[in-house]
Amino acid sequence: MNEQEQIDRGQRAERLLQDALYVESFELVRKAIVTKWEQSPGRDAEGREYLFLMLKALNDAKGALEQAVSDGKVTLHSQEQKRLFKMFR
């Protein structure tokens, strides 16, 4: 992936993370998992572990988008620094 693709990818990820439908959907799924976990019987260790893994996967998906945003910003900043360096050379 070239630098411009990485910047574009980061900007798309940022728009997605700020999208009201995404935010609402993420929270609904997260709350549903936590509610199921809270309501599960203590003896259901396997079910609780499965819910934990679901929550972890949900957070990992969001984390991947956040990482794309960060990578895009770093790449954009790097490009800007290169341009400035060339201007003052």
3-state helix, strand, coil in the chain (%, to 5): 90, 0, 10
Q: What is the pLDDT of residues 3-44, one digit of tens each?
A: 999 999 999 999 999 999 999 999 999 999 999 999 999 899
| Residues 6+ positions from 55 with CB-CB distance below 8 Å | 30, 33, 34, 37
- The token pair at 28 is 């609904």
Q: And the tokens for 72?
A: 């895009």
Q: Are 66 and 9 in contact (CB under 8 A)?
A: no
pTM for this predicted structure: 0.84
- Residue 14 near residue 69, CB atoms below 8 Å: yes
